[in-house]
Each structure stands twice: as C-alpha cells, then as structure tokens.
Structure 1
Amino acid sequence: MIDESRIHSVETEIKRVVDNLFSVLEEKVRSKSDLVLFLENGHKSRFKIPDKSEYVIGPGEEYHDDRYRREFYIQYLKGAGIERHKNLEAGGEIDDLSKFKRFSLFLELMIYCHLWENKLHLRDLKQIARLLDRNSYNWDLTIPDYNKGNLIRTEIRDVFINHGLEAGDLINSIYNGQIRNAFAHSQFTFMPNGDTIILGNYDGKYHNLSRINEYEWENYFLKSTLFFHHFFIKKEKMRVDFGNDNPVVNIDFPISPGRKRQIEIYWHNPGYAYTFSPPSN
C-alpha cells in the first residue's frame, strides 16, 4: 500500500529527474532526424505489407499492447492509499488490514517487475543512452529476452551517470534484479502483518537483500511506477510540441542494410502525428 503523504514529494522529484533527462537529450542529440525518430518511435514492424517498407513511424504494436498495463497501474495508484484502507478498517468495511497489505504487495511486486521487464520501456531508455553518446538513431534496436539486468545497469544506468544525469542515480536506487528474480521464481514471502517482504533468494553475495521494509519497498515501487508514468507523459508532450514547431522534417530512412536516404515526414494537426504523406488542404 502507498503512504498518500509521500506521493506529492516523490512525484515532484521524479518529474524533475524526467524533465532533466529530456532536456539534456534535446541538447546532446546529433540531429532533428534522430530526435524526431525517437519521439515518433521509428521501428521495424512485426507485420510486413507487400511492396511496403517494414520500417515505420508511430506508436507501434507494443504501445497499443501496453495501454491496459498503464491503465492498471494508474488505477492501482489511485486506490491503494494506506490511510484510505485504515479508514475502511475503522468503519468495519475491512476486517483485517494485514490481509489487504499482503494482497497489495503481490500486486506491487507484479507491477514493479512488469515495468522493468517491459521491452518498450527499456528500448526507449536505451535509445536515449545511445543518442546521448552521439550515436545515430537505431531503427533495428532490440531488447534481449534474457539478462535485461545487465543492459539496465551497463547500457542505460551507467551511461546516464557518465552524463551527470540524476536519472542514472535514480535507476541505481530503484532497480534491483534480485527483487525481480525473487518474484519471477516465487522466492519471497511476507511478514504476517504485511509490513516486510522476505526474499528467499538471499545469498549474502550476489543477492544481498534478505528483507525489505515498508518504507524501502515504497521507494522501489512508487518511484519506479512514477518514473515510467512521467517518462511516458513527457515524451508525448515533447512529441506534440516538436510536431507543432516542425511541420516538415527530413529523416534518415533505411532503404537497405547499412544504407539510408533522406525523406520528408509531415506533421498532421488534427491527428497529432507525423506521416510520410503531406496533409491534404
């Protein structure tokens, strides 16, 4: 469950970190082409259409697949306040708050793991890391099915830290692969009152967390959830602002392995999206 009194201060911190990340990205990216391709999600589609390029811009399948997951964690944040549930217990509508706290921990562990396993999230962060290092946008960037922890630590977190970004320090403090592994392999339990998570994969060496108290877990869960939530909001706002300011942009479009050519894309308003066709008058 969530301490309602902490949400505002945590959200203020997260917004500042996310704003700074996008501000530095805008300063360091090599070209408008690279920036707009990130904002418009240039990617290789899973679905091939005859006589059409497999490279497309726009939300893509993963974005639409993810919409109900976002809906779920937003709704959870709205309804999981600890004070609200204490009042329900005091009013006799809940007979055992500890049971609800344990139930909430199951949901929060699931949400936490899904956030950090999400390939769309990790691809966005990895693209930013590449662009910060002055690489061109990678249309073919893939996220592995396994060993995502190493990618998060070395290819995202460490790059952000090298660029002096608070986002790197934030990720360092809220991503923990041991928690993910404990949940994935059912190596966890709770204290009966629901105020502590006990990790069964503790080994004192590589997995050095034996238990997590309520306050510590709230940092992991609440900051992770709000980070990805405000990352999504910030990226979408920047995308629309960029489109309104740049009705036509030249992008580097892949035509064959290792070869690209410049083409124009056009902002549509209404519609709030770039396409390969100019808007009709």
Structure 2
Amino acid sequence: MLELLSYPPIYRGLMLLVFSGFTFPLAGVFVLRMNLLPIRYLLMHGVLLGGALGLALRWNPSLVSVAVNVFMIIILNQSSRKLKTGYGHLTMFFMVFSVAAASIITSVFHVPAKDTLTLLWGSLYASSPLTVAITGAVSASLVLFSVLNFRKLTVIFHDKQVASSMGIRVSRFELAIMLITSLAVASAMNLMGALLLDVQLILPVVIAGLIASGLKQTMVYSCLFGGAFSLIGFFTALLFDIPVSAGIAIPAAAVFIIIIFFKRGKKT
C-alpha cells in the first residue's frame, strides 16, 4: 500500500490531509464559539458558486471558490453594518442568490454534471500543486492567527461586550475570523466535498469539547483528533478502496460514541 505514495496525486492527497486535518478544526472552534453555523452554510453555497464559475470559465475552481467566499463575507459584513441588522436574514438572501447563480452558470455554460458533482464529493486526488500550496497557506494562517490572538479570542468568545470595554476591536476580529473561516471552508470542501465537510471542521471540535477544559485544550485536542482522523481515514481509504471522507468519518464517529458511553459510565 505504501508504494502508492510514490504517485504524485496520492502523495499530494496525503499532504493536503496533513495540512487540513491538523489545523482546520481551529476554524471549527471559531464556528461553534461564535455561533457561525448559518454563515458556514453560506460559505458552502459560496464554494458551489465559485466551483461552478471556475469550471465554466476553465479557471482553477479552488482559487475561484476562495475568491467568491472572501468577497461574499466582505459584502455580508459591510451590509450588516450599514443596514444595522444581524447576519441571519442577509445570510439567507446570499445563500439563495448563490444557488440561483450557480444553477444559471451551470446551465448557460453547459458545465458537465459529473464535474458539478465533484463539488459535492470533493476531489482529493485531483488536486494540483497549487491546491497544496493554497491549503498549506490557509493552514499556516489559521495557526498563526490563533496563536498570536489567543488571549483576545478568549475574551471575545466569553463576552463581546467585555472585550469591547477592554479596547478590543470586536468587529474587526469578527470580520477576520469570518474571512479565515471562509478560506478553511473553501479548502475543506474541495477536499471533502460539501456532504462531509463537517467531519473535518466540526466533529473533531465536538469530540474535543467532551474531554477538554478551556479554550486552549479544546483547540489543541481538536487539531490532534482532526489530524489523527485524517491520517487514519487516508490509509483506510487506500486499503479498502473507499472515499477518503468516509474513511475519516468512520473513526471519528467511533471515537465520539466511545467517549459518550465512557462519560455516561463514569456518571453511573
């Protein structure tokens, strides 16, 4: 099985999972701590729109998806500030718009259905060296942002009003968190697909939250779980010839169930 790593697509797939598995759960921490689940769905729709646009114009879908998500987050943030309204209704509007635009682009430019389906299932082994570089850059950005701003993030996650009273520019941090999360979601969708995106972003954080105490432990455990699940899933997929996303989901679900039963056993 290890001889398969000599093939560039397989080796690049492993590199992508190492980068994303050990760092993308940090974006999951941001999503859960700041209640950004609706925005996460918006970002998923943005990737579909960006992917359809990239396929139609024959540009790199990964780059286009990243660009579309960044653009949508900036517009969403500015619209919310100018209209003095929350993200809820605006998120729904942009989601509907994204789906409609993606449908029109796919129809007008006659994007093949099989290419469109890759947006739902991901294309780990079809990744280019550029995709590896983009994913590595996103991973490094997540780690640097989390480490350099850990104390401020702790206060913001605890109470935004307290953070503002301490002189922290909460709105700027919120925009930065949304932007870096958009990059992670776009990258993860290109790897895992829309249907199993949460197995890499959210599930490791949920599992870590069952045993961690405090933000630092949650971040560290999330990344360790995410990296372990990604590596196990990668080699499981090679061994049994199944999709990598499914290979990652199986050990993650198993660990989640084991921890739940263990915790219930201790209570009784």
Give TM-score, length-normalised by structure 1.
0.28
More strand by share: 1
More helix by share: 2
Give TM-score, length-normalised by structure 2.
0.29
Q: Which has the larger radius of gyration?
A: 1
Larger relative contact order (C-alpha < 8 A, sep ≥ 6)? 2
